[in-house]
Structure 1
Amino acid sequence: MLTTVTGSPSHARAALPFVRALEGTEHEVVVACPPDLARVFDGAPARVEPVLTPMSEAAARFVPQIQALGPEPDPAAVVARVFGGEHLVDEVRALRSACPAPDLVLRDGGEFAGLLYAEELGVPHLPAPSGAAHVLDPAHLGPLLDERRTALGLATPASDSLTPYGRLDCMPPSFSFAPDWLPEPFAFRQDDEVDRGGRLPEWVAALPAGRPLVLASLGTALPMMKDAGRTPPGGPPADPAAGLRALVAGANDVDAEIVVATGGLECEVAPAPHVHLERWVPQPLLLQVTDALVTHGGYNTVREAVRHGVPMVAFPQFGDQFASAGRISSLGLGRQVDGDSLAEGLTAVLADAAVRGRARAAQRAMLALPAIGADWPAVVDRRWSHDG
């Protein structure tokens, strides 16, 4: 199996449990990713080939194309340009050497060199759980992929579906974040031990009892965009740390112990004594004991929150995060806020019994799904056709 991953570390962590689940089977696994994501797969039963384009290099190519879309572009068109860019042609050529004859391609939902390479070889391909896949409308992405197919000498498929063999998800179908154009998934329970061997820091264990505990994080992508240029709506923000400053300012006004994972971004806003800034925290572990989560709306984080029944306050920053934030609100799993309403929204969610009940209902539905380790190898072994 060839696994292809792009983007930020969270994208790699979405694929990691599926790679690990093949340990001890007869399947050989090759992971193709950017060099800066290779470490995510340390210890995994896979040969890692760091041959794909890092996000920083891809950004240098897609920012001018996004700017050419005008001052108020369709966000779906922006996301399509990010993931369907010219870099895919070079990446397919790299995959030919990295893994000459895969029988199945498992790709990050926003990674399309793997899709094109699978088409070239005539083998099935499946997307891993991905928020990007929820906003990559075939109407916008299809023409871009056709340009890449022409450059590679590939035929255009009869169908414009990006998932002709189906897709993977780690969200209960009754709480789906997927749009109508995506098929029903092979659904699995979210792995709650992606980072094995973790433990809570002692200072977290020593926080005052009897007060709400909140985890706040804006994900792993923004810290990778410190040098991003100004882009139009839908693209990465010109100042990646702006969201962190607004988050800390809002957290200062909430009566709770709030742990903020900064990802390494600098924050000029001084935190109040009850706001604790850390570069990194063991998120799945901490979610087991938190009363609420402030999140950018990254789909990996959303799934982990549902896995642990944690209400959410969605503070989206760019791309598919806005779609996820809207879905959090419409499903009753929390609220969507901006910088000005963050403190009010978090205070309301902490006091909202209905949201807590809805988050618990989603957790029960999640726990009723099969484990990746138990059922994923059987999916890999199945006989494949275009209709899944």
Structure 2
Amino acid sequence: MAHIAFIAPGAFGHINPTLPIVRELTARGHRVTYATDAAMADTVRAAGAEPVTYRLKPVEPLVLDGMEAAARGTLALLEEVEQALPQIEDAYEDDRPDVLVNDWLGWSGALLAAKWGVPRVQSWSAHAASEGYDFGAFIVGMFQAAPAVKAEFDALLAVLLERHDLPPVELHDFYRPAARNLVYQPRAFHVRNETFDDRYAFVGPTRLTEPADFTPPGSPLVLVSLGTIIEEPEFFRTCVSAFADQPYHVILSVGTGIDPRDLGPLPVNIEAHQRVPQPAVLAHADAFVTHTGMNSTMEALGSAVPMVAIPHTPEQQTTAERITDLGLGTVLTPDAVTADTLRTAVNDLLANAATRQRVRAMQQEVLTAGGAPRAAGVIEGQLPTG
């Protein structure tokens, strides 16, 4: 039995793709530990992992509305490492893993694997980076627009490297691939996929269905969600205006920070919930209005659901562009969303047979990528022999 450690930030978008892999590894007899924010302890424990938790100081959320704000967001990642890394290192002092799997933003994992000399697999919960698709270069350019923030970053990184006796590392290194990499998309969907070599395993989504008692309330069915982080009550009010009295049923998943009652009385064809069993709903949906988070996008493609993409971040914008490039849906920028544009986009999507055909073809790529069993095999392949 091997000891396999996962390290990821305490956010569902980073952790969810790994949970089916944890279940697969434990079913194969391995011991799995999972280092993450204390708030996620129950989530990783339910998948079969032993939580190794750390605690972070509360901070004000950043609004990424410009290059300097984005630079400060990157600095905030390093400030999290400053707090989390010593807590993680202490927990593993007498319990070193045989292989370490870190999320691409789980920088503590990359640093500790190098210090311990432990094989590492990188988990790309977003688009993966390669020499031909080097978004680390964007981060470097972003800091050029915010030199004062870059100076803070470099100073803190130097302190961390000395304090924890870590091998030399620079900002750009955090965005480079590991010797083995798990990508939760099929190769056919990934941007610049021709630039990726055999270091990358395009295992596709690991979580396509989940047990749920869900009966579709009407057909056609349209699901609307902006994920677990974006909270925009006015957007959902616009949805109510757009879809009232349309010949399809609409489910709004508004997020835990919004009270559905605040949307006012709803038409009979619209219902609103803070959360829904998204994969189960998508299994019956005919269209999906989405922020194009990677997990949501892959769940939609796994159920052959075309999308109206409304991206809010650069990563989501890349995913949305890929959706349009491959003819899997359409895109609206957030500032272009009105009741009329939203209604038109959904109606056009529901009427477009060619889009549905392309989405079904991509569904086959998703379903044959290998998922959690293939990902577990990649991790096992990094275990030291003997």
Tell whether the structures are fold-level matches, with TM greater than 0.5: yes
Counterpart Cα distance in 1 of 2:186 and 2:127: 18
Aligned to 1:261: 253
Moved more, 291-300 or 7-16: 7-16
1:18 corresponds, among 12, 17, 21, to 21
Cα 1:280–1:19, aligned 2, differ >3 Å: closer, same or farther? same
Q: Please state if 1:219 is matched with 2:227.
A: yes
Give the AA of the match of 2:25: L
CA RMSD of aligned residues (A): 3.1
1:332 corresponds, among 307, 320, 327, to 327
* Larger relative contact order (CA 8 Å, sep ≥ 6): 1
SS of equivalent to 2:178: coil
* 8 A Cα contact 1:110 1:132, kept in partner: no
Q: Please state if 1:156 is matched with 2:171.
A: no
SS of equivalent to 2:158: helix
Cα 1:4–1:58, aligned 2, differ >3 Å: closer, same or farther? farther
- How far 1:333 sits from its partner (Å)? 1.0
2:53 corresponds, among 43, 50, 54, to 50
Number of residues of Structure 1 aligned to a counterpart in Structure 2: 351
Give per-residue Cα distances to partners, 1:198-253, cap 9 Å, x unaligned. Answer: 221xxx44x24xx3111111111235xxxxxxxxxxxxxxxx43433334333337
Q: Please state if 1:93 is matched with 2:86.
A: yes
Cα 1:371–1:128, aligned 2, differ >3 Å: closer, same or farther? same
Question: What are the equivalent positions in structure 2 for 1:1-388 lying under 5 Å apart?
Answer: 1-53=4-56, 57-60=58-61, 72-73=66-67, 77=71, 80-81=74-75, 84-100=77-93, 101-131=96-126, 137-139=135-137, 141=139, 149-152=157-160, 153=162, 154-157=166-169, 160=173, 162-177=176-191, 185-192=200-207, 195=210, 197-200=211-214, 204-205=215-216, 207-208=217-218, 211-222=219-230, 240-252=232-244, 254-264=246-256, 265-266=258-259, 268-270=262-264, 271-337=266-332, 338=334, 339-340=337-338, 341-373=341-373, 375-383=374-382
Cα 1:366–1:193, aligned 2, differ >3 Å: closer, same or farther? closer
Task: Structure 1: give runs of 5+ residues left out of the alignment.
Answer: 224-239
Give the AA of the match of 1:99: Y
* 8 A Cα contact 1:245 1:269, kept in partner: yes
- How far 1:141 sits from its partner (Å)? 4.7
Counterpart Cα distance in 2 of 1:194 and 1:150: 44
* 8 A Cα contact 2:17 2:207, kept in partner: no
Q: Mark the structure with the bigger radius of gyration.
A: 2
Give per-residue Cα distances to partners, 1:332-363, cap 9 Å, x unaligned. Answer: 11111142222211111111111111110100
* 8 A Cα contact 1:243 1:317, kept in partner: no
SS of equivalent to 1:167: strand
* 8 A Cα contact 1:41 1:48, kept in partner: yes
- How far 1:168 sits from its partner (Å)? 0.8
- How far 1:176 sits from its partner (Å)? 1.1
Cα 1:384–1:58, aligned 2, differ >3 Å: closer, same or farther? farther
* 8 A Cα contact 2:251 2:272, kept in partner: yes
- How far 1:79 sits from its partner (Å)? 5.6
* 8 A Cα contact 1:149 1:155, kept in partner: no
SS of equivalent to 1:107: strand
- Work out the percentage of aligned pairs sharing the same amino acid: 25
- How far 1:293 sits from its partner (Å)? 0.8
Moved more, 8-17 or 154-163: 154-163
- How far 1:47 sits from its partner (Å)? 0.5
Give per-residue Cα distances to partners, 1:9-65, cap 9 Å, x unaligned. Answer: 2322111111111113343211111222223224322111221538xx3545x56xx
* 8 A Cα contact 1:190 1:303, kept in partner: yes
Please give the TM-score of this superposition, normalised by the length of structure 1.
Answer: 0.79
Please give the TM-score of this superposition, normalised by the length of structure 2.
Answer: 0.79
Moved more, 148-157 or 92-101: 148-157
* 8 A Cα contact 1:295 1:314, kept in partner: yes
* 8 A Cα contact 1:75 1:319, kept in partner: no
